[in-house]
Structure 1
Amino acid sequence: MKEIKNVLIVTREYKCSRNPKVGGTGVFYKNLGAELVKRGIAVHVFLISKYTFDIEEEGVKIHSVKDIFKANPLLELLRSFTGKVKALEQIHFKTYLSEKKIISDKISTWIKKNHLHFDIAETHDFDGLALSIPKEIPYVIRCHGSWSVLEKYFGYKKVHKGRVFCEKAAFKNAENIITISKYNETINKSLFAIKEPKLIYNGIDEKFYRPDENAEIISKSVFFLGNVSFEKGAETLIKAFIKLKGIHPEASLHFIGNPNHYPAYIAENIQDMETRNAIHFYGNKSGAEIVQLINQAEVVCFSSKGENFSLSLLEVMAIQKPVVCSAIDSFKEIIQEPVNGLIAGEENFHEKISLIFEDDHLRNRISLNARKLVESKFGIDKMVDETVRYYEEII
């Protein structure tokens, strides 16, 4: 079996010093790239972002080009206009395909100019970016969560038709696909008719995300980690917290992540000042800051309406905190109630949180089991080992 020596990651998201505010996919590829480098594998990232730059971080060489549509106002105008007129739909699709062709040409020019060679490339499913990978490079698509999936299964609105078109075209051409959970595999098989994908669960660094025995826990504190949005269940948790305050007046609610419009939402919709003052927004935080804050939590809630998979959930479980999760398939794939967490419906989050507050034995048991599960099944070393073996099978 041929040894993997050079890997190319083609992505619209990669967390680095020049591009710090990214979602889970960007964090995933940062972690994957760094771990591959530790194994002696050279990693280059071809990034499409807001900026043009070349940097090296944690041994990973990052080449970023400006978003094609943003860099070309005429192409952006054509994309926008044709997307609004049904009769111009085919032109709209061709505009998106031309964007992929431009990216492909840029990748080929960059490779030739720098005398690079890659054994394999990896990219994400959203935007159909696999269409941009030069044909001579074997590649794999990892299903982090396409626009097609977000629209059909998670209720996202106003998804660009060109994005969905490119995603379908990319999957139609793809031979090598990684799914990140059984649920993720099921919905992608249904939507794109993919065959024989490789299931590799996402992994986290359980040595970094770990409990701090000296941390001072904020009594009756409820934490939320992630983008503070309707889709992630922010309103569900706020409504649950109002009910919770009636049972536990000393309770407090803490949001870690981009707050969006929710500070204003709180001011407009909660009249009781005591309840309003018990809700805190910390904004986006670094990994180290997240570990410090979550260690202060008594319980952490994941009230999302839809997820392919959640790295944030694994991070919190690794910090050995009790979690209460919404009753969606991807969470139920990880959480076994009442062994390593609790599952709640939209109307009874406050009841499940109260159980954690009131039962020390339950809280301690599920916290310990949560950490054990991550160590045994969702560590980053396991994920990277399985990824490299799959790369080797492909080439």
Structure 2
Amino acid sequence: MKAGINALWAKKKWNIPFIVTEHWTAYLENADQQLSHYSSFFKNGLKQVLKKASAITVVSNYLGKSIQSSFPGIKYSVIPNVVNTDLFYPVQEQDAGKIRFIHISSMNYQKNTEAIILALSLLKDDHPVELYLYGPVNPSLEALINDIGLQQIAFAQGEVSQEQLSKAIQQSDALILYSRFETFGCVLIEANACGVPVIVSDLQVFHEIIEEGVNGIFAEGENPAALAEKLRQFIAHKDHFNKNEIAAMAAKKYNYKKVGQQFIELYNKTAATSA
């Protein structure tokens, strides 16, 4: 918001056009911190920033429509997030004897990590599985792991470098992201770029990234039993996923050059129409 106010000032003083790139979850109707929780002063300022912007980009069509619900008439272009294919790429599989799941997130309410742990508890007696959690240490999640006796199969790894994270994904069979709400999902395209399929909550926005049975599987949200069943489904059919095809599809759509070119074209168009 502060950057937007500064941009408004620069536009008024020097007639410099500006572009807004939006990722914020507060526009989403099921977010825990919604735009409606903010003051009228804040919302009016945001409205002015969006109205005066020469262009607005969003990371998903779902986010764009959510913005329009709050501010009708706002126009937007979808330019997705990117993946660093120099870091995230497929490697040869090594059979570890266990199915390895990975979850990467901020471990907060939005990410619903506790439901993943509960789903794992329903699965552990059926299949040899492991779950590696990457993100900020969350004592309540670690307590849950201990309380339901998953210490031998669920491992909180904390925060690591991007290089370490890419290796962890490459060593995994699937990534789980069971969020309550999202505007995109960067870890999904990072996993896919490694050729790793994803198991996700059935959010509308994820359908812009994931195709059922091709690069991932959808599970009913807020239902650990349903998630556990989808994990079983993945284990039974994991060989149906084509690692190289998944990686190629992600790299083609989300590489730096392609996404960067979309921004360059937008900047050039904005500059030309503002001259």
Q: What range describes the TM-score normalised by the shorter chain of this pair?
A: 0.7 to 0.9
Residues 216, 229 of structure 1: CA spacing in aligned structure 2 closer, same or farther, 3 A cutoff? Answer: farther
CA distance in 1 between partners of 2:206 and 2:25 (Å): 18
Equivalent pair of 2:90/2:244 in contact (CA under 8 Å): no
CA distance in 2 between partners of 1:321 and 1:393 (Å): 37
Q: Deviations over 1:121-163 (max 9, x none)?
A: xxxxxx363111222232100111153x15x332327954365
CA distance in 1 between partners of 2:58 and 2:92 (Å): 35
User: Which amino acid is the alignment partner of residue 241 of structure 1?
Assistant: L
Q: Does 1:318 align with 2:178?
A: no
CA distance in 2 between partners of 1:178 and 1:163 (Å): 20
Larger RCO, structures 1/2 (Cα 8 Å, 6+ apart): 2
**Structure 1 counterpart SS, 2:183:** coil
Offset at 1:165?
4.5
State which of 72, 78, 82 in structure 2 corresponds to 1:199.
78
List gaps (5 residues or longer) in structure 1. Answer: 1-126
State which of 219, 243, 246 in structure 2 corresponds to 1:344.
219
Q: Deviations over 1:226-248 (max 9, x none)?
A: 11122112122111111111322
**Structure 2 counterpart SS, 1:331:** helix
The alignment-based identity, stated in percent, is: 20
Q: Does 1:131 align with 2:9?
A: no
Equivalent pair of 1:128/1:166 in contact (CA under 8 Å): no
Q: Show the counterpart of 1:374.
A: 250
Offset at 1:215?
5.7
Q: Does 1:208 align with 2:83?
A: no
**Structure 1 counterpart SS, 2:125:** helix
CA distance in 2 between partners of 1:358 and 1:176 (Å): 46
State which of 163, 167, 177 in structure 1 corresponds to 2:56.
177
**Structure 1 counterpart SS, 2:111:** coil
TM-score, normalisation: structure 2: 0.86
**Structure 2 counterpart SS, 1:353:** helix
Offset at 1:369?
3.4
Q: Deviations over 1:151-197 (max 9, x none)?
A: x3323279543654432332233231112211122111222224332
Residues 206, 190 of structure 1: CA spacing in aligned structure 2 closer, same or farther, 3 A cutoff? Answer: same
User: Computing the radius of gyration over CA atoms, which structure comes out larger, 1 or 2?
Assistant: 1
Residues 257, 165 of structure 1: CA spacing in aligned structure 2 closer, same or farther, 3 A cutoff? Answer: farther
Q: How is 1:81-96 mapped onto 2 (pairs within 5 angstroms)? A: none
User: Which amino acid is the alignment partner of residue 259 of structure 1?
Assistant: V
**Structure 2 counterpart SS, 1:304:** coil
Q: Deviations over 1:215-273 (max 9, x none)?
A: 6657222110111122112122111111111322x3222111113333444257x243x
Q: Show the counterpart of 1:156.
A: 33
Equivalent pair of 1:216/1:296 in contact (CA under 8 Å): no
CA distance in 1 between partners of 2:263 and 2:30 (Å): 27
Give aligned pairs, total. 261
Q: Does 1:187 align with 2:66?
A: yes
User: Which amino acid is the alignment partner of residue 135 of structure 2?
Assistant: G
Q: What is the root-mean-square deviation in Å for CA atoms of aligned residues?
A: 2.3
Q: Does 1:358 align with 2:236?
A: yes
User: Which amino acid is the alignment partner of residue 233 of structure 1?
Assistant: N
Offset at 1:394?
0.5
Structure 1 segments, 4+ long, off by >6 Å, are none
Residues 196, 156 of structure 1: CA spacing in aligned structure 2 closer, same or farther, 3 A cutoff? Answer: closer
State which of 230, 233, 245 in structure 1 corresponds to 2:109.
230
CA distance in 2 between partners of 1:334 and 1:267 (Å): 30
